[in-house]
């Protein structure tokens, strides 16, 4: 059984990037592994991810997806089944991006990256080949992270104009752990509910209702990663679920199994990948 999927790196993110970068993920297998049909779940955040060694192959709603590069933009995961398979030595260095970063930095709506990994050549509005070459020539994690952050700094120089009300709306979703009505967010943002839903889905890639559920469930996982798993249902209540059955229903909808089966099963290592990144 795999011990974990990826660990968050304690890295001092430069202040000018804190609206774009939510955290750093790193991980490596050390030895060759063989995995097939491993599930992937929504976290609410896209990634700029560099794979050392083998690149995972995916199936998205039973359709094969084979990344064209070791350096990709991995978009939001929507409400369809996604699995990955891997054979060989694998490692990753990932920059966890703000939900609006795909739009601001790469000049493409979040929905463009939904449920896919797009190569840096296709995704980037600037020349990303030097970044890829430099990443390929180093084995140091901190160097790879610095190179990726420098690249985001370059992207930031030509980012699209901010949408302040959308940024504030996402801050409110994070602040409340996803437990907030869409109408209330739109009202606080000063826009109509219809406009809020349309722009949110275009830029983030997911509907606000679904996104709030993703954040709510990942808030549970964030507590779970630092708490006693026997108190899972109490954690769920703390995260805004009305009762145990409400939590189990949401868990089954997102994870496709019960909380107990997941935590005691062969995919339990994925809980270290899930969790809030704010």
Strands of 71-74's sheet, edge to edge?
7-8, 21-28, 90-97, 47-53, 71-74, 117-119
Instruction: Give which of 278, 239, 238, 231 is closest to 259, Cα–Cα.
Output: 231
Rounded-to-integer distance, Cα 252 and Cα 176, Å: 22
CA angle at residue 231 from 26 to 245, to 5 degrees? 105
Between CA 123 and CA 199 the distance in angstroms is 21
Positions of CATH 2.60.120 in the chain: 7-156
Least confident of 19-28, 142-151, 190-199: 19-28
90-100 residue pLDDT tens? 889 999 999 99
Q: Mind listing the pLDDT tens digit for each residue in 240-273?
A: 776 777 777 877 877 777 777 777 766 666 666 6
pLDDT tens-digit series, residues 12-58: 899 999 999 999 988 888 788 888 988 888 889 999 999 998 899 99
Contact call for residues 152 and 102 (beta carbons, < 8 A): no
Instruction: Retrieve residue 206's tokens.
Output: 């997911």
Comma-separated ranges of CATH 1.10.10.60 domains in the chain: 164-272
| Amino acid 276: pLDDT | 52
Fold of 164-272: Arc Repressor Mutant, subunit A (1.10.10)
pLDDT over threshold 50, residue 1: no
Helical ranges in the chain per DSSP H? 101-106, 120-123, 129-136, 141-156, 164-175, 182-189, 193-204, 208-224, 232-238, 244-255, 259-264
| Whole-number average pLDDT of the chain | 87
CA–CA gap between residue 51 and residue 104 (Å, rounded): 24
Q: Which fold, 7-156?
A: Jelly Rolls (2.60.120)
Mean pLDDT value across residues 205-213: 94
Bridge-based pairing of strands 90-97 and 21-28 is antiparallel
Pairing of strands 47-53, 57-60: unpaired
Angle between the 208-224 and 193-204 helix axes, to the nearest 10 degrees?
60
Per-residue DSSP letter, 16 = G
Q: In the predicted model, what is the mean pLDDT of residues 146-171? A: 97
């Amino acid at each position: 059984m795999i011990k974990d999927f990826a660990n968050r790196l304690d890295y001092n993110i430069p202040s000018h990037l804190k609206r774009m970068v939510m955290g750093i993920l790193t991980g490596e297998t050390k030895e060759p592994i063989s995995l097939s049909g491993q599930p992937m779940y929504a976290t609410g955040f896209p990634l700029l991810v560099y794979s050392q060694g083998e690149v995972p192959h995916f199936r998205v709603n039973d359709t094969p997806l084979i990344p064209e590069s070791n350096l990709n933009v991995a978009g939001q995961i929507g409400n369809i089944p996604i699995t990955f398979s891997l054979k060989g030595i694998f490692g990753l260095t990932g920059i966890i991006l703000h939900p609006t970063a795909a739009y601001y930095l790469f000049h493409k709506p979040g929905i463009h990256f939904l449920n896919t990994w797009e190569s840096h050549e296709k995704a980037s509005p600037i020349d990303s080949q030097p970044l890829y070459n430099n990443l390929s020539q180093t084995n140091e994690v901190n160097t790879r992270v610095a190179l990726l952050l420098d690249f985001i700094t370059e992207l930031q120089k030509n980012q699209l104009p901010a949408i302040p009300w959308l940024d504030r709306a996402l801050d409110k979703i994070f602040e409340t752990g996803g437990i907030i009505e869409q109408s209330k967010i739109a009202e606080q943002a000063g826009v109509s509910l219809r406009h809020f839903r349309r722009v949110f889905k275009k830029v983030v890639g997911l509907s606000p209702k679904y996104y709030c559920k993703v954040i709510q469930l990942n808030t549970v996982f964030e507590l779970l990663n630092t708490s006693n798993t026997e108190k899972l249902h109490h954690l769920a209540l703390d995260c805004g679920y009305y009762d145990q059955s409400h939590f189990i229903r949401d868990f089954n909808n997102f994870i496709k199994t019960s909380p107990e089966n997941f935590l005691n099963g062969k995919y339990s290592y994925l809980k270290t990948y899930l969790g809030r990144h704010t």
